[in-house]
Structure 1
Amino acid sequence: MKRYSQWFSLAAAFVTALMLMFSTDQSASAAFWDTKGDNIIHDPSMIKEGNTWYTFGTGIGNGLRVIKSNDGITWSAAPSIFPTPLSWWKMYVPNHEENQWAPDISYYNGRYWLYYSVSSFGSNTSAIGLASTDRIASGQWRDHGLVIRTTSADNYNAIDGDLVIDKDGNPWLSFGSFWSGIKLTKLDKTTMKPTGSLYSIASRPNNGGAVEAPHITYKDGYYYLFVSFDSCCKGVNSTYKMAYGRSTNITGPYYDKNGKSMMAGGGTILDAGNERWKGPGHSDIMGNSVIVRHGYDALDNGISKLLINDLYWDSAGWPTY
């Protein structure tokens, strides 16, 4: 009996150790990733290279902000990108060259592609630029110059660029903020710059045009368009919220769960925040299983921080978490 008791105790201890080891290894797979460390970010876009997670975000005056993590939970600062404004920016956005916004990082055809915006707040005098690298960890980025620009003569805004690869392997860029809403254009596979028509895929004509930050992902026969509604950048007073719709064609039309067109202001709300996290928005999705966005922390003076969740899909194919 004593030997049996000792064996049972050892077995129980072994099982407990396995459970602890498993829970530690899987810490980044919880439904809500409780990020910590230097997790301050705005307009996040996340990617994994090797064993390192990188999140890119808006920068004001010091280049595009980059943070990194070995587990997706604890984050630290990495060197910024473009700490010195590129000379060509002032040609398109004079006097606002230090406003580098909303980067999008993606991997395609053996390179990492970084789309970013240079703009003045509240104006559509804006430009989307492009840089690339074969290895993020190298810190060496190739400047590809201007992708698309807008001026006060345009009824749309060239910010919030986001790369999407369609089901046939073709690259597209969605972008837009307020005015006439979200646009989409096909890209040349070599230059990764626009070729062909400009499509309108979402707008909010009865809500002051308050739609921006598009992100498209493809899953099981549908293209899902995620956007942000209303106002960001006001700390705990932000009214930002995330919405979505879907289409069988990348160029639309996109409809929400109620069948309303996203060109007519439609969009099913995914996240409007909670008591702590105000104004969540500017989402980015990895592998259709992880969703990233920022939220303003009501427990920390409304500072914008990195929020990550596992992303799920219901039986009808709609996203949830």
Structure 2
Amino acid sequence: MWQNAISILCFLLYAVSAIPTAPTPSASAGIDTHSFSKTTEYPLPNLGNVAAHDPNIIQYDGYFYLFKGGVHIPIHKSRTLDGPWEEVGTVLDEASVIDKQNRTRPWAPTTVEWENRFYCFYAISESGSRDSAIGVASSDSPEGGNWTDHGAVVNTGKGDLSDVYPYTVSNAIDGAFIKDQKTGEPRLLYGSYWHGIFSVPLAEHLLSIKTPKKPDATNLAYVPTAKTKPIEGSFMTYKAPYYYLWFSHGKCCQFNVHNFPPMGDEYSIRVGRSKNVTGPFVDKDGRETLQGGGTIVYGSNHGVVYAPGGVGVLSGTGSEADVLYFHYLNTSIGFAQGDARLGWNYLHYVDGWPKAIEGYVHANGSDAQNFRN
């Protein structure tokens, strides 16, 4: 009996500590807190309890593996999404072989398992520049120590084939991956600002574009009427009968704490859907993502969660729910890129549209049927 009481007390203490808290008056002194949305339309995140910007998570052999932007692409693993996370090496042993700026600190990795091997797509770039590249490394294990860096798959600005459309109008960062359910063909998604998000078929070995000099490219999302075109960080999932195009919209980082952008202009997580892998994708109101459309699934909330983005989705199987994961800034912690935290929520689908739901359940989905609409 005492053991049960102690267990319940420990769980309650954990639950309280796992709730993000609003900034105290002293912590928020001089900060433009009027720009923080206090909406309760979106639930507070379940905490990943790890610092991460542009997180990417895969499941393998009973573990979650977390890849994130940073020196040589750090890798962590955990039995559960709330940690504890153990660092198990890096994807790269040294600077990327791609001869561009920031070679030691790749951005926005996306790792996939394909034909019994792991492939990590990563971005080399710098803020405000279109001289970018998406590289790829491969390994027979998701842990560090055995990855081979194969170099650039796509170049924009400068580099091999950067003079070929759509590389002439796009920015080669934020790579993502999807398999065409009809043909089995692998596809690379990428893009940030400029002309938005594109999709191109990959070669079967994933190390290059299928037809490098004449890529069969499709523009998936774009904001044609805006002076700046703040969409990036795409991710795609399939849940029959729809493909879901996820992306981040708005300002991601480098915030001036005394003058935040107008509320709603910071990062939010948006989605469109289509029955075809190449679209067209539309939002809940029927607006195409190529015309600036995108339904907001998760945004700043409770005065605590700010600028959520860097989105990914873990697809559930059987009775397991899909998991939406992302980075966000906790207004009680800070607003530098290194302050970004991992958060996650289960997804419920209403008429085929995903909705982030409240609550903590075990990551194996055992209690995922207890949705709150």
Q: TM-score, with normalisation over the residues of structure 2?
A: 0.73
1:261/1:144 CA distance change after superposition, 3 Å = same
CA distance in 2, matches of 1:201, 1:216: 11
1:69/1:191 CA distance change after superposition, 3 Å = closer
Map 1:69-218 to 2 at 5 A: 69-74=78-83, 75-86=85-96, 88-90=97-99, 93=100, 95-137=101-143, 139-151=145-157, 154-168=168-182, 169-195=184-210, 196-207=215-226, 208-218=228-238
3-state SS in 1 of match to 2:181: coil
Hey, what does 2:275 align to over in structure 1?
248
CA distance in 1, matches of 2:45, 2:252: 22
Hey, what does 1:293 align to over in structure 2?
326
Q: Is the 8 A contact 2:89 2:144 kept in 1?
A: no
Percent of matched pairs sharing the same residue: 30
**Which of 299, 306, 313 is equivalent to 2:342?**
306
C-alpha RMSD of the superposition: 2.5
Shift in Å, 1:188: 1.4
Q: Partner amino acid for 1:320?
A: K
Structure 2: state its 5+ residue gaps: 16-42, 317-321, 357-373
**Which of 309, 314, 318 is equivalent to 1:281?**
309
Q: Deviations over 1:196-251 (max 9, x none)?
A: 41110100122311100111111111111001101112357471111110111111
**Which of 326, 344, 353 is equivalent to 1:318?**
353
Detail structure 1 runs of 4+ shifted over 4 Å in the superposition: 235-238
Q: Is the 8 A contact 2:235 2:246 kept in 1?
A: yes
3-state SS in 2 of match to 1:263: helix
CA distance in 2, matches of 1:234, 1:213: 17
Q: TM-score, with normalisation over the residues of structure 1?
A: 0.84
3-state SS in 1 of match to 2:177: strand
Q: Is the 8 A contact 2:199 2:218 kept in 1?
A: yes
Q: Partner amino acid for 2:169?
A: N
CA distance in 2, matches of 1:71, 1:272: 24
3-state SS in 2 of match to 1:311: strand
- How many pairs are equivalent? 294
Shift in Å, 1:83: 4.9
3-state SS in 1 of match to 2:143: helix
Shift in Å, 1:167: 1.1
CA distance in 1, matches of 2:247, 2:329: 18
Q: Is the 8 A contact 1:171 1:192 kept in 2?
A: no
Q: Is the 8 A contact 1:99 1:119 kept in 2?
A: no
CA distance in 1, matches of 2:187, 2:354: 22
Shift in Å, 1:102: 0.3
Q: Is the 8 A contact 1:277 1:297 kept in 2?
A: yes
Q: Partner amino acid for 1:277?
A: V
Tell me which of the two structures has the higher relative contact order, counting C-alpha pairs closer than 8 angstroms and 6 or more residues apart. Answer: 2
Q: Is the 8 A contact 1:202 1:264 kept in 2?
A: yes
Q: Is the 8 A contact 2:88 2:143 kept in 1?
A: no
